[in-house]
Amino acid sequence: MPAATSGLEVLIVDDEPKQRRGLAALVRSLRPDYRVHEAKNGKEALEMTQSKALDIVFTDIQMPLMNGMEFLESLNTISLNRRTKVIFVSVFHEFGLAQQALRLGANDYLVKPVSTAHLEPLLEGLEQQIAKEISRNSEAEQLSNQLAHTKPVYVEHLAYKWMTEELQPSEQIELRSHLSFTGFGTVLIAETKSGTKKDSDREWKSMLKRAITQSLAPFANTLVLSPEHEKERLYTIIEWKDLDSSQIGLSRLRASFAQLENIYNRSVGVGIGLDALNLERDIRSCCESAKSALAHLYYSPEGMWVTALELDQLLRQAPVSTIAVKDTAALEEIVTAGQLEQACDALREMMERIASGYPTPFRMKCSAIQLLLTCMKRAELVIGDDMHRQLADRIDQEIMQADTLRETVVVALRLLTDIMVQMKKDKSSRSELIMQKCKEYLEDNLHEDLGLETVAQRFYYNSSYFSILFKNHFGQSFTDFLVKSRMQKARSMLLQSDLKVSDIAKQVGYKDIKYFNKVFKKMYLYPPDEFRRMFSS
């Protein structure tokens, strides 16, 4: 016998004691583990079904008070135990009644007197049937549990999508079947930084959810969402019960958050969206404005609250602040002079000026990066390529990781200090490095109109000092070096290509072909065409 059907509850119903006890004894002998009960009529049996989860009932048909047919009809009506199997036990001449009982839902019938040969296969069949039903019920229960678990997740997914993008018509219908937010309300986003332990994160987020639902329950209908891809945020859809409830409800919630912050020693930042008269229609604008408000906590101390309305007023009053070219040029000069303290003061002042206009945090960070990269223009002439790349990478990564304006300024000043310290450290090889970069620049741009003053400005020198530095390093003047480099490239092109002499002249920076021929002949004794005929293979 399958383990699932061991210990079944069986009831024998018969008004004749001898018949009832005989069948009960037979069942016990065949299935010792069954719990076998007895009743003397249908009424007593029906009462017993209300206190015991009966699996099998063997019942006589003709009985006082309530016969077997009436018992079956009543059992079907109350349906206390749909798995109960009813077997009618009748004498031969009641066969017609037994057939009627089968039509009413009886599982089988036996003819008195019941023998082992008839009862054994019947019990086996009933046990298999009950085992299958138990298995199906178990699977159904598991599926129901899974659905109970996944349904809230799916509804939360739909609700988040509803707040952030356009829903498909089928999704709108599905969402309405679970949620109804059509009145006056808004969206609140709470953000907190992850702790050191995941367990504490779960507890912390659970407490925040509870604080939201309990604090706002008297004033609003709420739905708190915890998107899987935004682990540090809780989104709350709030539908106020009346127009005057919002301020009281939010004050209660703020007090609850403050209490939790003290207990857990963690902070919560909150962005509150614009109010909407119809949440269903305007939920996305509520959510976007809440996100914008939350983002501008970048300018506030941790744990602050910003509403979209407050942010709008702040932006209207903010000055238009820009950084002029002369400001960045002055910063470059201070950096080049190695004046660290003055450079840090200048950078801080410029960042504070930009921040006074309250640009988005992303724009503010980009402005800080641009200022530091401006300083790096001077640094690339002094420090090695590898170190230059490392510092440039750090500027981008570390500035973008900053969570607040205060942190952004601190990181920017630290990076500027590192740049200038590295410049000072590498200053001994500065001239050699600059001259090498100058040589590479000249060789790559021989086709351009290159003059001493233009090149000197490119490398941040005045022309007189640059001329001396160049001659000391290369052993010849800038002009002689440039002419020699151009003629060497022209010679190579004459011998290794089929380009016209006029085209070669242009590619080495000579617009006047006659002058090019004259300079080339002076250096190589032959005009370009004759030189090509004599020496090309």
| Residue 460 in domain | yes
Q: What is the pLDDT of residues 224-268, one digit of tens each?
A: 998 888 888 999 999 999 888 889 999 999 999 999 988 888 889
Q: Are residues 44 and 77 in the same domain?
A: yes
Same domain, residue pair 121 and 21: yes
Q: What is the pLDDT of residues 207-218, one digit of tens each?
A: 999 999 999 999
Within-domain flag for 172: no
Q: What's the rounded Cα separation, in Å, for the pair 43 and 64?
A: 9
Q: Read out DSSP for 354-412?
A: HHTT---HHHHHHHHHHHHHHHHHHHTTTS-HHHHHHHHHHHHHHHHH--SHHHHHHHH
* Total domains, the chain: 4
Cβ neighbours around 35 below 10 Å, total = 14
pLDDT of residue 509: 85
Last residue of a domain, one of 107, 137, 167: 137
Q: Is 406 left (phi over 0), alpha (psi -120 to 50) or beta?
A: alpha
- Is residue 150 a part of any domain in this protein? no
- Residue 147: inside a domain, yes or no? no
Half-sphere exposure of 332 (CA within 13 A, CB side): 17
Is residue 487 in a domain? yes
- Does 399 fall in a domain? yes
List of residues 6+ apart from 325 with CB closer than 8 A: none
Residue 433: its pLDDT value, please? 75
Q: Which two tokens stand for residue 105?
A: 């839902």
Beta bridge partners of 13: 39, 59
| Inside any domain, residue 319 | no
**pLDDT over 90, % of the chain:** 32
Q: Which of 177, 378, 186 is nearest to 291 (CA)?
A: 186
Identify whether residues 350 and 465 lie together within a single domain. no
The CATH number of residue 14's host domain is 3.40.50.2300
Range of 205-219, 441-455, 520-534 with top mean pLDDT: 205-219
Query: Considering 398, 425, 452, which residue would you say is the last residue of a domain?
Result: 425
Of 406, 425, 444, the one marking the end of a domain is 425
Calculate the average pLDDT of the chain.
85
Which residue range(s) make up the domain with 36? Answer: 3-137
pTM: 0.55
Task: Name residues whose C-beta falls within 8 Å of residue 57's C-beta, 6 or more positions apart in sequence.
Answer: 10, 11, 13, 45, 49, 75, 84, 85, 86, 87
pLDDT of the residue at 81: 47
- CA 227 centroid distance within chain: 7
- Measured in degrees and rounded to the nearest 5, phi and psi for residue 357 equal -90, 0
Q: Where are the alpha helices (DSSP H) in 166-231?
A: 169-178, 198-216
Number of Cβ within 10 Å of residue 236's Cβ equals 24
Task: Verify that 117 and 36 share a domain, yes or no.
Answer: yes
Is there a single domain that holds both residue 347 and residue 442? no
288 and 342 together in one domain? no
User: Which element (helix H / strand E) includes 59?
Assistant: strand 56-60
pLDDT tens by residue, 89-130: 887 666 677 677 777 778 888 888 888 988 999 898 888 888
C-alpha 504/C-alpha 492 separation (Å) is 10
Are residues 435 and 421 part of one domain? no
Whether 101 maps to a domain, the answer reads: yes
Please report, for the domain that includes residue 455, its CATH number.
Answer: 1.10.10.60
Helix locations, 165-188, DSSP H: 169-178
For position 356, which CATH number holds?
Answer: 1.20.272
- Here the CATH number for the domain that contains residue 207 is 3.30.70.270
The answer on 497 and 420 residing in a single domain is no
Shared domain for 443 and 531, answered yes or no, is: yes
**In this structure, are 44 and 89 located in the same domain?**
yes
Assess whether 116 and 214 both reside in one domain.
no
Q: Are residues 44 and 94 in the same domain?
A: yes
Q: Region 199-210: what's the mean pLDDT?
A: 86
In whole angstroms, what is the distance from residue 316 CA to residue 508 CA?
57
